[in-house]
């Protein structure tokens, strides 16, 4: 969260101000193709109309907008500074996706133990550039800024360490590049944004996926032959766009009872909401769960249609199976992606499984009835999906 700048009196009138601030910081006024502008304009209009920002929340929200716009500009600048970054095609990336809170993060970080993969480190998502040698990361001001911002967030929301821990040097989600095009589900998560949400649901994210693809090429341009390991829950809503930019992608889709996964998601999102908005907490939480249930029920149906058109490119992982016997699940995955689990890698994987780092920072507690919905109501839109993957039996 960048809190360096006072927020404008009216966000909807601050489009030029945002560009001027970022241009001055980065040293360029090149923001790339203009397809990001409609989303940014609607977002700023929504920020005046939908949320009840606290004083601190206005500053946080403005800092987030500036930070994402800055990341976009830095990516465009770095692309110009490194001609030929897109010379090499990205071959058969491994992509983890699924409804949020179904084990995507745990699986992603476990597989990232395999050094034959490259991934999107958190600090490079904030400041896209060709990935430098790992031993030099902490010398980069961009790395230091990301690390400081994360520590500030954990100081403000200590429980965030347990719900969704991030570190500057660890791999993170593709959505942090996708939202640089300002057509993203993420802009509905940190504060009330119904106006933006209504607009977003009618848009294609094709331009965002093209920008994302170029950023992945940029970040990996120093080691173009190293296979990519990527992760983003939102890809299940856009598998067609994912396959458009990565035609030979190998997709791992995770599954869990939505009545368990989606209240966990809302609990996570409401932690940030508590920093940005005053009042209406109960209503905001209920609205959010209603929205997330509808959104992800639609996403899994869309994913099934796209999968049918791309046979053999997706493997399914049931959340309970992964927790019960992660090595058995990994063996299935590695057979699917055509890679071997070496003896050395197996030891590393087993060590991380035993350490359970995701549980070392506390336990995430939540209850669906805190959000005005029963488990049966949450499951109803997912009826076919739950039966297809036998998620009630899986637990």
pLDDT tens, residue by residue, 47-69: 999 999 999 999 999 999 999 99
> So what's the pLDDT on residue 366?
76
pLDDT at 359 over 70: no
The domain limits of the chain are 91-394
Can you tell me the mean pLDDT for 125-131? 96
> What residues does 316 pair with on adjacent strands?
253
Which residue carries 């347990």 as its tokens?
162
175 exposed, middle or buried (CB, 10 Å; 0-12, 13-18, 19+)?
buried
Among 76-85, 150-159, 177-186, whose mean pLDDT is lowest? 150-159
| 8-state DSSP, 331 | H
Name the pLDDT band for 161 (thresholds 50, 70, 90).
low
Q: What's the confidence (pLDDT) of residue 238?
A: 98
% of the chain beyond a pLDDT of 90: 85
Q: How far apart are CA 10 and CA 211, in angstroms?
A: 29
Q: What does the CA dihedral 366, 368, 372, 378 come to, rounded to 10 degrees?
A: 150
What value does the mean pLDDT take over residues 331-341? 98
3-class DSSP state of 176 = helix
With CA atoms as reference, report the closest residue to 200 among 46, 59, 58, 60.
46
373: left (phi over 0), alpha (psi -120 to 50) or beta: beta
Q: What number is the average pLDDT over the span 4-18?
A: 95
Check pLDDT > 60 for residue 204: yes
8 Å CB contact between 366 and 264: yes
Instruction: Report which of residues 273 and 178 the model is more confident about.
Output: 178
Answer yes or no: are the C-beta atoms of 350 and 327 closer than 8 Å.
yes
State yes or no: pLDDT of 360 exceeds 70: no
Lookup: tokens for 381: 């839109």
Neighbours of 308 (CB within 10 A): 8
Q: Which of the two residues, 203 and 159, has the higher pLDDT score?
A: 203
Q: Whole-prediction pTM value?
A: 0.94
pLDDT in tens, 257-289: 999 999 999 998 998 888 899 988 899 999 999
Residue range 176-188: average pLDDT?
A: 96
Q: What's the count of helices (H) and strands (E) in the chain, helices before strands?
A: 19, 5
Report the pLDDT value the prediction gives residue 358, as an integer from 0 to 100.
66
CB 97 within 8 A of CB 233: yes
Q: What topology is assigned to 91-394 in CATH? A: Rossmann fold (3.40.50)
With contact defined as beta carbons under 8 Å apart, do 184 and 175 qualify? yes
């Amino acid at each position: 969260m960048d809190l360096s700048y006072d927020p404008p009196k009216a966000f909807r009138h601050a489009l030029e101000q945002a560009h001027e601030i970022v241009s001055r910081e980065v040293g360029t006024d090149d923001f790339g193709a203009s397809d990001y502008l409609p989303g940014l304009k609607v977002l700023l209009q929504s920020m005046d109309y939908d949320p009840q920002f606290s004083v601190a929340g206005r500053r946080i929200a403005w800092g987030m907008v500036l930070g994402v716009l800055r990341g976009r500009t830095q990516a465009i600048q770095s692309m110009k500074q490194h001609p030929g970054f897109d010379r090499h095609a990205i071959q058969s990336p491994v992509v983890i996706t699924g409804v949020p809170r179904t084990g995507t993060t745990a699986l992603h970080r476990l597989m990232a133990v395999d050094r034959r993969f490259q991934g999107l480190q958190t600090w490079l998502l904030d400041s896209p550039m060709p990935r430098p040698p790992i031993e030099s990361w902490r010398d980069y001001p961009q790395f230091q800024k990301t690390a400081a911002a994360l520590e500030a967030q954990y100081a403000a929301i200590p429980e965030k360490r347990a719900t969704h821990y991030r570190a500057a040097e660890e791999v993170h989600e593709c959505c942090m590049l996708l939202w640089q095009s300002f057509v993203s589900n993420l802009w509905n998560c940190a504060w009330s944004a119904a106006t933006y949400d209504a607009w977003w649901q009618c848009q294609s994210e094709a331009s965002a996926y093209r920008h994302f693809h170029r950023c992945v090429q940029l970040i990996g341009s120093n080691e173009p032959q190293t296979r990519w390991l990527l992760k983003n829950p939102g890809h299940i809503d856009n598998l067609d766009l994912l396959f458009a930019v990565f035609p030979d992608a190998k997709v791992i889709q995770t599954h869990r009872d939505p009545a368990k996964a989606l209240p966990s998601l809302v609990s996570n999102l409401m932690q940030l909401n508590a920093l940005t908005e005053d009042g209406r907490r109960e209503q905001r939480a209920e609205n959010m769960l209603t929205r997330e249930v509808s959104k992800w029920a639609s996403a899994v149906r869309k994913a099934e249609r796209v999968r049918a058109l791309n046979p053999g490119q997706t493997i399914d992982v049931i959340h309970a199976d992964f927790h019960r016997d992660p090595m058995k699940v990994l063996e299935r995955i590695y057979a699917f992606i055509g890679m071997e689990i070496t003896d050395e890698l197996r030891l590393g994987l087993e060590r991380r499984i035993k350490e359970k780092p995701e549980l070392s920072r506390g336990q995430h507690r939540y209850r669906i009835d805190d959000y005005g919905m029963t488990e049966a109501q949450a499951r109803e839109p997912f009826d076919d999906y739950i039966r297809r993957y036998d998620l009630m039996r899986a637990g």
